[in-house]
Amino acid sequence: MPDFQTLLIYIIPLLFAITLHEAAHGWIASKLGDHTARMMGRVTLDPTKHIDPIGTIAIPLVLLLSSSGFIFGWAKPVPINFNALRNGKNGMIWVALAGPGANIVMAVCWLFVMIIAINMNIAVLIEMGRIGILVNCVLAVFNLLPIPPLDGSRVISALLPNRLAYQYNQLEQYGLYILLGLMFLGGFNYLVRPWVELILGWFNYALIALG
């Protein structure tokens, strides 16, 4: 079982990753005309406003305790009224991409934390930076999967004709079961891991170049 320090090294980057991901959705939605999330207090960096018992706590904890070497999670979806967005479906795409985009920005921030920690020889921050990059890359790729209600499905839905989009969105009621099934059957090794490893390769190159 991981010790307390190891838990913190994982939990801090994961909480930031999930919280900022959801806050980014709400912030962009507010900028595009839908203030639902802001009125409900979801455009905030307070993790307690975004925690989902299964996606934020149970799943990451099981993966961490099992030493799977692979950790991900999700938060309560930010409420979005897509009908209130300016630019219609284009606004929907921007709101959907805001979350994964925030994760990539955070991964870059953790890269600089890691560079500073390496130069100052702070082992805990080096490891936290590594986990921060990993977690944010995993969440960015994971959320772009075209499985409702993930962000990737919102992009697909916005690109489909209305009738097909409606039928496609009906899958959302089965989304959690599909995701859990993929996790336990090892589907993420084929759908997520290759893309994560590709992005991590770019970050490793940047670390060598900037370090």
CB-neighbour burial class of residue 134 (10 A; exposed 0-12, middle 13-18, buried 19+): buried
* Residue 76 DSSP class: P
**Distance from chain centroid for Cα 1:** 25
C-beta of residue 5 within 8 angstroms of C-beta of residue 123 = no
How many angstroms separate the CA atoms of 196 and 53, rounded?
25
- Supply the Cα-derived Rg of the chain in whole angstroms: 17
CB-neighbour burial class of residue 194 (10 A; exposed 0-12, middle 13-18, buried 19+): exposed
The owner of tokens 């991981």 is 2
Helices (H), 46-174: 59-65, 88-120, 123-143, 151-159, 162-169
Is-catalytic flag, 197? no
Give the tokens for residue 112. 């600089």
Q: Which residues are designated catalytic? A: 22
